[in-house]
Amino acid sequence: MSTASETKVYETVCMLCFMVCGIKAHVRDGKLVKVEGLPGHPLSDGIICPRGKHMANYIYSPERLQYPLKKDSGSWKRITWDEALDTTAAKLQKIKDAYGARALALSVGSIGAENIEISGFAQRFRGAYGTPNFFSVEGHCFRSRIMARLLTFGSYPLEDVENSACIVLWGNNPDESAPPLGAKIHKAVDGGAKLIVIDPKRIPLSEKGIYIRIRPGTDCALALGMLHVIINENLYDQEFVEKYTLGFAQLVQHVQDYPPEEVEKITWVPAEKIKEIARLYARAESAAIMQGITTLDQHINGLQNNRALAILQAITGNYNKRGAWATNPFMRLSDLRVTVEEDPIGAEKFPIFRRFWGRTSPYGQQMVLQEAILSEKPYPIKALIVGGGNPALAWPDTQKTKKAFQKLDFMVVMDLFLTETAELADIVLPCSSSLERQGLAYNYGLTAGIPYIMLSRKIIEPIGESWPDWKFYSELGRRMGYEAYFPWNSDEEVNANWLKPSGITLEQLKENPKGLWFGERCYDITAKNQIRTPSQKIELYSETLAAAGYDPLPVHREPSQSAVSNPELAAKYPLILTLGSRVVTYTNFQMRNIPELRELAPWPVAEIHPDTAEKYGLQAADPVIVKTKGGQVEVKVKISEAVAPQAVSLQYGWDGKASGNLLSELKPLDPITGYPELKALACEIIKV
């Protein structure tokens, strides 16, 4: 800690999003006064985005929760931690006695799933309590791609973009959603790598490569068209395919249904362009498709989109090769989970999401939770604990989600702020920020293709009575008789325990404030155990999907609200809605209450093309209603050549009347993953 008036500069990490950039944090008189990027940091090399820069404004926001709160006749009353924990323990015990352990659900959001502490301790508590109903943001983000790569390769390879001769940015705008990764891609392209950008919207990186404007939700068709060209022009890696893959003959047959001329009609992409990018991609010495972190998942065909990309990488031999997709030794950390044999609700509806080849997902699919709470089928769910998430706004169909949460007997939310989800709770608990506690910051490899770990140091005292998440779950567990599961008493003990199986110690992390790589990429397909499917081959054709009743090879499926699948609806709602795009100023539903950030992006925006603006008589910053068959939002117009004339790109993460999920619905869902359809809806805009 610093002494009076002396400024101390700490090298540590920003945990305001999962990029976990290195920062220099200036502390004076015990207070964080300034945050800068950390030059020479292997992930971020001095880069800092507005969120990181304004971290002090975030941490000292007057809206930070300072004390535990209890709802008392509709208003909030300050209580002690003891009362909050005693009340919660008593209530959860009563619910368990009356309905069984499964009547409690736990949900962790983006922060909750990415932060091993929240996810790990929530899972430990739920195991000790005995409920199968644990949900996470992976019910609509990221896990779809993990599943697709596992089904294809038996492993989860990461993109080695820094060394790639050809990068394909597919539904991915890293300048907004992943700035350090964006910087690496700019650098690679400036250094000579070829770039293909496939996006309905012209993003900044499109200027540096071949830009392909695709109709939202038709990515699988485009991938199949590229496969058609690559196979029929013999541009695939024949030796690799023969030696390492299964089902190529079926694939050859299958892609004949997708000649570029047909794919053009589906995707808006001219046949000649499809051929051009297929050739460029397949002929490159190495190629890495770098898809958006979630964009391609949130379609009714999401899993198959991801499968199609995996198949492209496979038949061009771009697996476990420099500059391609490469496997990594995933970091082994202590597993705090306590086994619950019973499956969560929804497991029978989405069996592959739950389990295949004996590998069980830690999470249930939360898109079934709202209905289960409201109908009490298959059984009553009476209580919910939320950590590091804002599901009242983040889940589709806001009205139904809120109604479900209101029906619960008991709800606890732990957060730094009184979010719209917290507003619905019975007990709200104040959480400390990452600079107020020691924790582990783990980058799973998104930025550099190799997992990376850092120690996030405690450099300021906690605000008010805020606690770290592990302490809440531990103290609650102890009060409920699960003390044997929660032996740790400090951040240090918790973190040392996590690291035990990793081969890295807490001391090493302290000595290396910039962090440590975990392992190396595998560039050798002949190395032992590189393909871990049951057949030990890369499964182009998936018997596993076939056996579960799904398409064994990816098939194009129209978005459910498109002009092709539902012309009547499209006549009423003629524009195609992307719900929604990221802005660098905010993370998800957070930070709109920080004035210094709000100045940079003052209001929620629907981006439309100038022709569309003219047609609807709209000027920049005009208020506008965006309407779908699910509902409507009120936002402002931004006019931009970047978006297609047929499209509306809506910003994501606002609340109140601009909350995006007023427009989305809980059906249809991707039949394999259960993910909602968010990125290709039908909408209309109405001048206010």
Ligand X SMILES: Nc1nc2c(c(=O)[nH]1)N[C@H]1C(S)=C(S)[C@@H](COP(=O)(O)OP(=O)(O)OC[C@H]3O[C@@H](n4cnc5c(=O)[nH]c(N)nc54)[C@H](O)[C@@H]3O)O[C@H]1N2
21 binds, among ligand X, Mo ion, ligand SF4, none (CB under 5 to 8 A by kind): ligand SF4
Q: Is 370 in the site for ligand X (CB under 6 A)?
A: no
Beta bridge partners of 480: none
Give the residue among 410, 390, 402 at the shortest CA–CA distance from 587.
390
**At its nearest, how many Å lie between ligand X and the CB of residue 487?**
22
Q: Is 16 in the site for ligand SF4 (CB under 6 A)?
A: yes
DSSP string, 533-589: STTSSEESS-HHHHHTTS-SS------TTSTTT-HHHHHHS-EEEEEEE--TT--TT
Q: Candidates 25, 32, 38, 48: give the one binding ligand SF4 (CB under 6 A).
A: 48
Which of 75-83, 194-202, 516-524, 609-617 is the region at the interface with ligand X (rule: CB under 6 A)? 194-202
**At its nearest, how many Å lie between ligand X and the CB of residue 404?**
15
205 binds, among ligand SF4, ligand X, Mo ion, none (CB under 5 to 8 A by kind): none
20 binds, among ligand X, ligand SF4, Mo ion, none (CB under 5 to 8 A by kind): ligand SF4
Contacts of residue 671, Cβ cutoff 8 Å, sequence gap at least 6: 300, 350, 550
* Residue 431 per-residue DSSP state: B
Q: Is 203 in the site for ligand X (CB under 6 A)?
A: yes
- Let me know how long the chain is: 688
By C-beta, is 247 or 676 nearer to ligand X?
Answer: 676
By C-beta, is 246 or 418 nearer to ligand X?
Answer: 418
| The two three-digit tokens of residue 372, written as one number | 């289960």
Which of 61-69, 89-97, 135-143, 345-353 is the region at the interface with Mo ion (rule: CB under 5 A)? 135-143
Q: Is 683 in the site for ligand SF4 (CB under 6 A)?
A: no
Q: Is 383 in the site for ligand SF4 (CB under 6 A)?
A: no
| The two three-digit tokens of residue 115, written as one number | 């932060």
Distances in Å between the alpha carbon of 311 and those of 304, 334, 387, 526, 541? Answer: 10, 33, 36, 19, 9
By C-beta, is 324 or 579 nearer to Mo ion?
Answer: 579
Give the residue among 522, 632, 532, 538 at the shortest CA–CA distance from 577.
632
Contacts of residue 437, Cβ cutoff 8 Å, sequence gap at least 6: 458, 462, 468, 491
Give the residue among 158, 552, 554 at the shortest CA–CA distance from 320.
158
* Residue 349 per-residue DSSP state: T
Give, in degrees to the nearest 5, the angle at Cα 41 between 37 and 46. Answer: 25
3-state SS class at 656: helix
14 binds, among ligand SF4, Mo ion, ligand X, none (CB under 5 to 8 A by kind): ligand SF4
Q: Is 295 in the site for Mo ion (CB under 5 A)?
A: no
| Residues 613 to 652 in contact with ligand X, rule: CB under 6 A | 649, 652
When CB distances to ligand SF4 are compared, the closest residue is 52
Which of 46-54, 111-119, 266-274, 632-640 is the region at the interface with ligand SF4 (rule: CB under 6 A)? 46-54
Q: Is 51 in the site for ligand SF4 (CB under 6 A)?
A: yes
Spatial distance between the Cα atoms of 442 and 498, rounded to a whole number of angstroms: 12
State which amino acid sits at residue 235. Answer: L
Q: Is 442 in the site for ligand X (CB under 6 A)?
A: no
By C-beta, is 172 or 533 nearer to ligand X?
Answer: 172
State which amino acid sits at residue 361. Answer: S
By C-beta, is 286 or 419 nearer to Mo ion?
Answer: 419
| The two three-digit tokens of residue 41, written as one number | 């940091």
Give the residue among 337, 340, 313, 312 at the shortest CA–CA distance from 325.
313
Asked if 141 and 110 count as a contact pair (C-beta separation under 8 A), the reply is: yes
Q: Is 52 in the site for ligand SF4 (CB under 6 A)?
A: yes
Distance of CA 413 to the CA centre of its chain: 20
Which of 9-17, 148-156, 285-293, 339-347 is the region at the interface with ligand SF4 (rule: CB under 6 A)? 9-17
Q: Is 471 in the site for ligand SF4 (CB under 6 A)?
A: no
Q: Candidates 294, 328, 401, 456: give the one binding Mo ion (CB under 5 A).
A: 294
Q: Is 49 in the site for ligand SF4 (CB under 6 A)?
A: yes
| Residues 138 to 177 in contact with Mo ion, rule: CB under 5 A | 141
Q: Is 653 in the site for ligand X (CB under 6 A)?
A: yes
| The two three-digit tokens of residue 417, written as one number | 């702020």
Distances in Å between the alpha carbon of 597 and those of 174, 256, 659? Answer: 19, 51, 18
| Residues 107 to 166 in contact with ligand X, rule: CB under 6 A | 109-111, 115, 118, 137, 140-141
Q: How many chain residues touch ligand SF4 (CB under 6 A)?
A: 11
Spatial distance between the Cα atoms of 525 and 243, rounded to a whole number of angstroms: 10
Point out which residues bind ligand X (CB under 6 A): 17, 109-111, 115, 118, 137, 140-141, 170-173, 176-178, 198-201, 203, 214, 216-217, 219, 292-295, 387-391, 394, 414-417, 419, 431, 469, 578-584, 586-590, 649, 652-653, 660-661, 664, 678-680
Point out which residues bind ligand SF4 (CB under 6 A): 14, 16-17, 19-21, 48-49, 51-52, 179
